[in-house]
Structure 1
Amino acid sequence: MSGTSFMIGNRQVGGDAPPLVIAEIGINHEGDEAKAIRMIDAAAGAGCECVKFQTHVIEDEMIRNDVVPANADESIWDIMVRCALSAEAEARLKAHAESKGMIFLSTPFSRAAADRLEKLDVAAYKIGSGECNNYPLIEHIARKGKPVILSTGMNDIPSIARAVTILHEVGVPYALLHCTSIYPTPYEHVRLGAMSELAAVFPDAVVGLSDHTLTNYTCLGAVALGAGILERHFTADKSWPGPDIEVSMGPDDLRDLIEGSRAIHMARGGHKDILPQEQPTIDFAYASVVSIADIKAGDELSMANIWVKRPGTGPILAGEFDALLGRRAAVDIPRDRQLSPEMLTPDSLA
C-alpha cells in the first residue's frame, strides 16, 4: 500500500502508523445525548482513539420522503428527525470526547452540517458513501481545508475519481475507505481486493476499510493488506434499538479490533531473511554433519559413517552433507562427533 500519510490533530494516519480505528457511533444514540455520552465513555474504556457521529440538519439535507432504508422499518425522514442532535449537543459531545483524549469526528450530510462542524473546529471531515458522488457537497467540505476521509460504498472507480479530482484541486489530504453498503455485509461481498485496487489507482490516498460485517475478521484482514484506517459501527449496548445496532460492535469487540489491528500492523511487511534473534533456535534446531561410526584416518566418508543430527552448533551444517560424500578423513574421528574442516584432508571440502 501507499506510504502516504497525513495528520488528524496529533495523530498520524497512514504511512508507518498503526491503523486508526474509528468507532462509528453514528445515530446509535437515537437522539439521546446521555446514550451518546455512554458510548463515548465505552469507546474510551476500550482504548479507542476516535469516535465518529453523524451531523444531520434535516431541512438542508433532504426533502420530506417515505423512503425506507433496507435495515429499517420506517422512513429515513422519520429516523433522522428522531436522531438528529442539536449543535449544542454536538459541541458538548465533542468536548466530552476530547476530555477523554479522543478525536471527535462527524459526517456532515449537507452544507449546513459541514458549516456547523467547521464552527466546532473538527480536525477532519468524514464523508459517507452516499455522498461520494455528491460532488458539490464534497467541494464545499474540501474547501474548508481539513483532511477528508471518504467512504466509497455504492461507487465505482470512475465516480470515485471525480471526487478525488476535487480533493486534488482543492489540495487537501485524503483517505479512501473501501465499503460495501449492505447491512450486514456477507463476507463474499466484502471484496478486500477492491481496497488494493483503490491503493493502486489512487497512490496518494491513505486507504482503509469501512466495514458492515458482523465480526472483526475482515477489518483484521484489511490490516494485513495495508489498511491505514478501520471503521465499524459501535454501541455501548447491543440491546439498544436502532437500525445500525445489528452491524455494530460492542466494547469487547472494539478492544479486540484495536489490539488485533496493532498486532497485525506490527507483523506485516518485512523480508524473508534470517533474524539474529533466531540464533538460539538455530543452535538446537539446525542439524550438523556428524559421524555415525568410528572413522579411521584415510577412510572415505559415506552414508555408512556420516549423517546429519542436531544440534546445529557444528562447523559443517546439514546443507553441506552431499559435498562431503567421497571425501577422506585426515584424522581418526570417533562416533557421534560433529565434523569440522580440519578433520578432512585439504581437498576434502569444495
Structure 2
Amino acid sequence: MKIANRDISLRHAPLVIAEIGINHGGSLEVAKAMVTAARLSGCEMVKHQTHFVDDEMTDEAKSIFPPNADISIWHVMQQCALGKDDEIALKKHAESLGMIYISTPFSRAAADFLNEIGVAAFKIGSGECNHLPLIRHIARMGKPVIMSTGMQTIESMKPSVQILEDAGIEYALLECTNLYPSPPEIVSLQGVTDLRQAFPNAVVGFSDHSIGPEMALSAVALGACILERHFTDTRYRKGPDISCSMDPAELRFLIDRSKEIHTALNNPKVRTAPEEDVYRFARGSVVADKDLPAGHVVTEADIWARRPGSGEISVQYFDQLIGARLTQAVTRNQQLRWSDFDGVEKPQ
C-alpha cells in the first residue's frame, strides 16, 4: 500500500508510526512539541486521535472508568480532545516538518472532518474494528485505511475486512493487545503470522502497547510492515497512555533497529564476500593423521581435518578419500592434495 509518498510492503523498511494520541492533554503547543520531537528522532508519520465527544459517546460514558485513568472515559476525552482549528494547525505543523499526518476518527463527524482537511489515510482503532457502519462510512472516502485488530478474532474481523475489500481501497491490519501497558503474557506475536495467513491482500503490522521495544522489533522478523507505538516527548508528563509510550530515544532506537532487522530478514542463506577471510581459516583441510607409505589404502583412522582451510581438499570431501590408494608417502599433519590419491576425481 501507499500513503502519501510512502510505500509500505515487505520490500520496504518498516513504517514506524508515532502515536501522539491524547498524550498532549488537550494542549496544541504540547502536541506540536511532541510532533517536533518525533521528527527529530527520524519518524516519518505521526498519528493523532480525533475526538468529537458529543458525536462519539452517550451520557452513559460518564460512568465508565478506563483501567488506566481515574476519571470517566467521557471526561478523559473531553479534557484531551483538540478543537478543529487546533487539529488543523497540528496537521500543518507536522506536514511543514515533512511528516505524514493521520488520525483515528472515533465518530462519523470526526471522519468527515478528517476527510475535509485532507488526511492521507485513516486509522481505525481496535474499539471500532467491528463498527461496520463507521468502517463503511470511512471506506467510501476512498483513502487507505490502517486498522488495529485488538480484542478481535480472525472470524470476528472478517466482515470489517470485507468492507475494505469491497471498497477497493488499500488497507493494513495491525495485531494489537488493548491493555495499557500489555504484559508479554497476553501479547500475541503469533497474531502477526495469523493475520498474514488469513488476509493475504492486507499489509500487516503491529500496534504495540507493551513496555520496551522488544515486541515490536520481534514483529518485524515475522513480517510486520508497520509498527505503531504511543509516543511522548518526555515520560514526566501525566496521562493515561504515558506508561506505554516511547520517548524520543526509544523512537530512534525502534526506527534504526527495525531497519536493520528488515535488512537481515531479506538476506538469503549464502556465504557472503565479507566472510571469505574467515572462511579461509575457520574451515578445516584434510590432513594425514599419521605417517603413511605410498600405496597405502586410506582408512578413516588415517586422515583427519585441521585448520586452516588453505589446503586443496576441504573437510567436506573427507568421505570420498576413504578406500583411496596413496600415490606417494605422506607425513602426519601434511595437507593432502588430490594428486596424492589414485583414482579419486577432483570435484568441479
Q: Cα deviation per residue 1:37-83 (whole Å; 9 max; x = unaligned)?
A: 11011111111111111011122111233211111110111111111
Out of 173, 177, 180, the residue aligned to residue 180 of structure 1 is 177
CA deviations on 1:143-202 (whole Å, 9 max, x unpaired) are: 111000001111222221111111111111100111111111110100111221111111
SS in structure 2 of the partner of residue 223 of structure 1: helix
- Do structure 1's residue 331 and structure 2's residue 328 form an aligned pair? yes
Measure, in 1, the Cα distance between the counterparts of 2:282 and 2:272: 15
Q: Is 2:11 the partner of 1:16?
A: yes
Matched, 1:240 2:237: yes
Is 1:76 the counterpart of 2:73 in the alignment? yes
In the TM superposition, residue 337 of structure 1 has moved relative to its aligned partner by 2.8
Q: Tell me the equivalent position of 1:91.
A: 88
Task: Say how many residue pairs are matched.
Answer: 345
- The answer to whether the aligner puts 1:311 opposite 2:308 as a matched pair is yes
Structure-2 separation of matches of 1:228 and 1:157? 19
TM-score by length of 1: 0.93
Structure 2 equivalent of residue 261 of structure 1: 258
| Conserved 8 A contact 1:330-1:345 | yes
Q: Could you say which residue in structure 1 is the equivalent of 2:206?
A: 209
Q: Distance in 2 between matches of 1:45 and 1:337?
A: 61
Q: CA deviation at 1:286?
A: 0.9
What is the TM-score of this pair, normalised by structure 2? 0.94
Q: Secondary structure at the match of 1:307?
A: strand
Quote the residue 1:47 is aligned against: 42
Is 1:148 the counterpart of 2:148? The answer is no
The one-letter amino acid paired with 1:50 is M
- Does the residue aligned with 1:208 lie in a helix, a strand or coil? strand
Q: Could you tell me how far apart the structure 2 residues matched to 1:347 and 1:258 are?
A: 55
State how far apart, in whole Å, the 1-side matches of 2:147 and 2:345 are.
67
CA distance in 2, matches of 1:303, 1:174: 61
**Secondary structure at the residue paired with 1:51?**
strand
CA RMSD, 1 decimal? 1.8
Counterpart in the other structure of 2:58? 63
Counterpart residue number, 2:341: 344
CA distance in 2 between partners of 1:347 and 1:55 (Å)? 76
Q: Percent identity?
A: 50
User: What is the one-letter code of the residue matched to 2:56?
Assistant: E
CA distance in 2, matches of 1:192, 1:155: 14
> Is the Cα contact below 8 Å between 1:149 and 1:175 reproduced in 2?
yes
Letter in 1 for 2:28: E
- In the alignment, the residues of structure 1 paired with residue 136 and residue 277 of structure 2 have an alpha-carbon distance, to the nearest angstrom, of 58
Report the Cα offset of residue 321 of structure 1: 2.2
Partner of 1:114: 111
Q: Distance in 2 between matches of 1:173 and 1:305?
A: 66
What residue is the counterpart of 1:30 in the other structure?
Answer: 25
SS in 2 for 1:52: strand
Partner of 2:42, secondary structure, is: coil
Counterpart of 1:231 in structure 2 is 228
Deviation, 1:271, is: 4.1
Q: Deviations over 1:246-301 (max 9, x none)?
A: 11111111111111111111111444343344322221111111234444322333
Contact (CA 8 Å) 2:147, 2:171: kept in 1 or not? yes
Q: After the TM superposition, which segments of 4 or more aligned residues of structure 1 sit over 4 Å from their partners?
A: 302-305, 347-350
Q: Which residue of 2 aligns with 1:3?
A: none
Q: Residue in 1 aligned with 2:189?
A: 192
Aligned counterparts, 1:273-288, within 5 A: 273-288=270-285
CA distance in 1, matches of 2:104, 2:51: 8
- The whole-number CA distance in structure 1 between the counterparts of 2:186 and 2:302 is 61
Cα distance in 1 for partners of 2:146, 2:343 equals 69
Q: 1:303-346: CA deviations, max 9, x gaps? A: 66532111112221112223323422212434443211112123
1:300: which partner in 2?
297
**SS of equivalent to 1:322:** helix
Give the secondary-structure state (helix, strand or coil) at the position aligned to 2:298: coil
Structure 1: gaps of 5 or more residues: 1-5
Q: Distance in 2 between matches of 1:102 and 1:96?
A: 9
Instruction: Kindly indicate whether the alpha-carbon contact (under 8 Å) linking 1:26 and 1:52 is maintained by their aligned counterparts in 2.
Output: yes
Equivalent position SS for 1:298: coil
